[in-house]
Structure 1
Amino acid sequence: MNIGDRVRLLHGKEEGIVSKILLGGEVEIEIEEGFRIPALKSEVVVISEVEDSYFKKEKAQPTSNLSKTADRIPADNEAGLFLAYIPYNDQNHGVYLVNNRKKDFLFSVSEIHGDSSKTLAAGVAKTNSSNRVDEKSIKDFESWPTLLILLIPINSRIEKTEKPFERRVKFKASAFFKSKGKSPILNKDGYVFRLDQTMSDLDVQQLNRDLNPTDSGEKPIGRQFTRPEKEIDLHIEKLSTGHEFLSNSEKLRLQMETFEKNLNYAIATGMDEITFIHGIGNGVLRKEIHRYLSQLTHISYFKDTHKSNFGYGATLVKIHE
């Protein structure tokens, strides 16, 4: 039994992907909802590829009813930009940036370590080519850091300008090990992810404004804040197009950063109240928000909103006048 195997519990209905081998004859299994549970190896059975493919065929729905995924397995020689993990053996995989588009791109691939980063590779991703950027071992899957991929299109002639874009990638076992496919250009089997379908635009002008808030020679005149909406939805799918690749801690950090920014803007622009929709879930986000609010002196009070509106899945913040 190895990391990445699809398994089921002998005395339960749960199925999932082995995400970690634990001490004491146990394994950690990531089930469909992204939750991880420990189980004894003796209580787990590997689902064979033959069995899995047979039941998938039995359960298959008409094409028109198939669900769409943001990073589906690519069709043969599909045009696009891809991140491909190609196995050298049963453990080690080469990591490739694959450009199967009719355009060259400047690229940079970095690992994120908290507030620091390490650039793994940078250069030009030529059209219809691949660039090896790293090598990873499956046994270290749980400790793989977040990848930051920056891409800037190169126009070799006068043509429509595409914006630079970026992608942050942090894999869950349930997403990674379901992505088996054949990589374009490399024409090899591996784990393949489409990058340019869910990219967020990298606004270079805004980046420059953030780095240089005032023109040379001018004195700062005070930052202008944008008044936020009265209701801010903190559900992760509203905040990130690549949320399926984020760890739970990264999701929570993004949600809290959005909460804090909009609360500060609400205070700075003189709003009297603002509501944050966090949902019910496991209650972690709600607790973090309430803990943060309890330490502030700029608000009158905060409370759960009326049940008929958000089912107590939101917090109303009343701000001092």
Structure 2
Amino acid sequence: MKYKLGDFVRFVDEKLEGFITRIIDEQMIGVTVEDDFEIPVPAAKVTLVHGYKAPGTEIINPGDKSPILAAEFKTKGVYLGVVPDAKANSVVHFHLINDTSFQLLATLATEKQGFKGEYAGIIGPNSSAKVYSAQLADLQIWPKVVINILYYTGQNVEAPAPLTFTEKFKAKDFSGSKKNLPIINQQGWQLRLDEPELVIDAEKLKESFFQSAEEKITLTKPAREIDLHVEKLRDDHQLFNSTEILKIQLAHFNKSLDAAIVHQLPDVIFIHGAGNGTLRHELQKILSKHPKVQTFMDAQKEKFGYGATRVVLK
């Protein structure tokens, strides 16, 4: 397969062009055209559009080979960055980011009913390389990723032990907010590869459940209108299924309701949308049993239709 996810292609027999957003098999690919509709097409029926370079395929800061003073030699800073494609948001690109003064001899393989080599190369100091691409919609069936890294320098600095990173990614790995990634200067999710995993101290975790009232974080006063649409709550909402989205919305609802009660608001409006009515039903089930709720009703139908509920507090 000569094509990669994110490549910009033109149809041979039709006046269409778009981005490759799925590799179906060795002969078939999925191309998302201008109206965001993905079309299955034989790979032989498209051709690359010259002049377009997929984000991440360029070499960034190949690294200065001049000697570095010992005091300035950076020994830490190896990251895996996951960045949405600038043109095809359903595709993400994996970048190995070397923010150290070492050269990295790196390989990436995927494991799913056997191993498949995806990348091998040298990543210079203060540089990065795109090592893998994947379709976000297929997150649940992504293969396990195995990265091996050797450190090298010609300078009088001891290299760290070889690094191995193995991960079967899940939706929760992309649940945090995106941040600006070092070297590549793009927004994405970041994993630090050269730091040990955080080990949770069970005793300290237990103590956190028994904090005194003074130690607990105070609830911020909420707005009078609270939007529960998941796209307002999470940047990564496309990674979750309907059950997970409902949990996120209910958690925000409960937290906001508690805050409204603590701050003694007379009422508060929750915007849940009309949809299939599932979220509205769940909210009303909670409100009907809540001891601090006086009553609830549809809020300003002329403004929200049946998409919001006004809650009057005691």
Class of the TM-score when normalised by the shorter of the 2 chains: 0.3 to 0.5
Indicate the structure (1 or 2) with the bigger Cα radius of gyration: 2
Structure number with greater CO (CA < 8 Å, separation at least 6) is 1
TM-score normalised over the length of structure 2: 0.44
